[in-house]
Structure 1
Amino acid sequence: MTRTEYVREPAVRGTISAARASDPRAERTRQAIFAAVRTLMTQRVASVSVSDIVRTASISRSSFYAHFSSLDDLATGFLREQFAEIGVTGFDLRSDDLTASEAARAGYQRLISHIVEHYPLYSSVLDLPITRTAYDDEIEAYSRRLVESLLALSGAPRVVHPESFATYVAGGALTLISAWMRGHLDVTDDEIVAQLVEFLPDWLVDAA
C-alpha cells in the first residue's frame, strides 16, 4: 500500500512494538500511555497534554510521571520504540555483502516502507510539536547511520569529517522525506527511494 492510498484511508494500522520489561505491570502502563498517544493522534488534536493522556489511558498523573519525566521524554520513547521495528539503532548493511548503491537503496527502502506502513501515525506526528522534534531526531539518526555504513564500505575515498558529512546528508534526507510526507512532492514511494539514492554523491554510491 502506498502513501497516497493511506491518505485516503485514515485508520491507523499496526501497533507499537511491545518492549520487554522486568515488571509486566509497569510495561502495561507504558503501553497504555503509548496507546493513548496513538488515539489522540488519530483524533487530529491540535496539541496533547499530560491531562489528555492520563484521561485517555485511565491512569493517574503520578503513574504517568513514574514512566516519563515530561512530554518530550514521552515523545522520544514513543517514537524510539516505533522505529525499533526497522533497527534504527546499530543496523549494519555491510554484513549483507551489498555494493554501496544496493546498501543505500535497501536502507532507504526499509525506512520508507516503514513510514508507509504506519502512514496515518507519522502524518499526525508531523503536526504535533511534542512529537515533531523526536520524529526529526529519529529520521536523522537512521539516515546518519545509513551514511556511516556506506562510508565504511571499501572503495570510498577518505572523508576528512565523516560525522559532519553523515549529518549533512541526513539533514537533506530528512527535509526530502518530510516534504514527501506532507504531499509537497508528487512522487511515488519507489520514486522517493530512488531520489534519496540518486542524490548521494557518486563517489559514495559507486563504492564497491
Structure 2
Amino acid sequence: MTEVPTVDRQLRRREQTRRRLIVAARELISAKGVAGLRIADITDTADVGRGSFYNHFASKEDLVDAVVRETIRDLAAQIVAGADESGDAAVAASAADRRFIRLAYDDVDDARLFVNLAHENIFEDSVGPFALRALEVGVASGRFTIPNLEMALIVLTGSALTLMRLILDGRAPADADVLHAEAMLTMFGVPAEEAHRIARLPL
C-alpha cells in the first residue's frame, strides 16, 4: 500500500488551519463587526496557536480580505447570477435586490456579515460593482432612467442595508424585500403598476 507523501499531509493540514481561521473570523465579524476583531479571539475561536495565524496572514486586515473574497464576493455573485434569465433588466434587478435583502430572513449569519461590514470600504469594493452593473444594464436597455448612477448606487445599497438591520432587529414586515424592490424600481423610472407586479414575481 502506497503511503501518502508527507508533503501532501502538510499541505492539507495547512489548508485546514487556514480554513479554520477564516471560519472563525467570519463568525466573529458577524457577531462583533470588524472594529471588535482581535487576532487573539480569532486564534482562540479557531483553536490554533497565535503563531499559526502569521503562517497564513500578515495581519488582521489580510484575514478580513480573505473572508470577503471567499464569502461576500461569491455570495454577491451568486445572487446576481441567479436573479433572472428572462433578459428583462428590471426583473433581474428586482430579484437580486430581494435576494440580497432576504438574507436577513433566511441566512442571518451572512446578513450580519454584510451589515457589520457596511461601514468598511471592503463592503463597497465587494458588493458595489455587482449593484452598479445591474443599474448600468437597466439604463442601457432603457428600463431605468437614472440621472446619476453613483447617487443611485448609494441610495440602493444604503437603504438595503438599513432595511436588513431592521429585519435582523425584528422591526420590519415579512414582505420588506418586496416593498423595497418596488420602491427602487419606481425610483429608477419603472411605471408604478409594473414595479408593483415585478416586485412580487416568485423568486
Measured against the shorter chain, the TM-score band is: 0.5 to 0.7
Identical pairs, percent: 22
Q: Secondary structure at the match of 1:78?
A: helix
1:16-37 deviation digits (Å, cap 9, x = unpaired): xxxxxxx543432222012212
> How far does residue 176 in structure 1 lie from its aligned partner after superposition?
0.2
| Aligned residue in 2 for 1:102 | 91
Alignment gaps of 5+ in structure 2:
1-10, 196-203
1:88-125 deviation digits (Å, cap 9, x = unpaired): 6984978x232222122122123223443322443365
Q: Which has the higher contact order (CA 8 A, sep 6+)?
A: 1
| Aligned residue in 2 for 1:64 | 53
Task: Please identify, of 116-125 and 23-32, the stretch whose mean Cα deviation from structure 2 is larger.
Answer: 116-125
> How far does residue 49 in structure 1 lie from its aligned partner after superposition?
0.7
Contact 2:25 2:42 in 1 (8 A): yes
Separation of aligned partners in 1, 2:98 and 2:79: 16
Contact 1:180 1:186 in 2 (8 A): yes
Cα 1:159–1:176 shift into 2, 3 Å: closer
Normalising by the residue count of structure 2, what TM-score does the alignment of the two structures yield? Answer: 0.65
Q: What amino acid sits opposite 1:63 in the alignment?
A: S
Alignment gaps of 5+ in structure 1:
1-22
**2:41 corresponds to 1:52:** yes
Separation of aligned partners in 2, 1:39 and 1:158: 40
Cα 1:89–1:157 shift into 2, 3 Å: closer
| Aligned residue in 2 for 1:33 | 21
| Aligned residue in 1 for 2:67 | 78
Separation of aligned partners in 1, 2:166 and 2:92: 27
Contact 2:29 2:113 in 1 (8 A): yes
Task: Please identify, of 76-85 and 48-57, the stretch whose mean Cα deviation from structure 2 is larger.
Answer: 76-85
Separation of aligned partners in 2, 1:168 and 1:42: 28
| Aligned residue in 2 for 1:19 | none
Cα 1:137–1:116 shift into 2, 3 Å: farther
Contact 2:135 2:144 in 1 (8 A): no
> How far does residue 180 in structure 1 lie from its aligned partner after superposition?
1.0
Separation of aligned partners in 2, 1:93 and 1:125: 19
| Aligned residue in 1 for 2:138 | 150
1:54-82 deviation digits (Å, cap 9, x = unpaired): 12212233432333332223223213322
Contact 1:144 1:166 in 2 (8 A): yes
**Rg larger for:** 2
Normalising by the residue count of structure 1, what TM-score does the alignment of the two structures yield? Answer: 0.64
| Aligned residue in 2 for 1:175 | 158
Cα 1:106–1:159 shift into 2, 3 Å: closer
| Aligned residue in 1 for 2:201 | none
CA-based RMSD: 3.8
> How far does residue 53 in structure 1 lie from its aligned partner after superposition?
0.6
Separation of aligned partners in 2, 1:193 and 1:99: 15
| Aligned residue in 2 for 1:13 | none
